[in-house]
């Protein structure tokens, strides 16, 4: 998980999205992308 995102409302929404895509192995690239943009 992205620790910085988990502190915001956006992070909470992303957390739920990540829970959906985690089984697909897609959550790490998402975490990296948002970390770079944020």
pLDDT, residue 2, reads: 53
Using pLDDT thresholds of 50, 70 and 90, give the confidence band for residue 26: low
Do you know the residue count of the chain?
A: 38
Q: Which residue has the higher pLDDT, 6 or 26?
A: 26
Domain limits of the chain?
5-37
Task: Supply the pTM of this predicted model.
Answer: 0.36
pLDDT, residue 27, reads: 59
Share of the chain above pLDDT 70, in %: 42
Q: Which residue has the higher pLDDT, 1 or 11?
A: 11
Q: Mind giving me the DSSP string for 1-38?
A: --TTGGGSHHHHHHHHHHHHHGGGT-HHHHHHHHHHH-
Contacts of 11 (CB under 8 A, 6+ apart): 2, 4, 5
């Amino acid at each position: 998980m992205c620790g910085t995102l988990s502190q915001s409302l956006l992070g909470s929404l992303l957390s739920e999205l990540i829970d959906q895509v985690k089984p697909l192995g897609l959550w790490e690239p998402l975490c990296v992308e948002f970390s770079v943009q944020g």
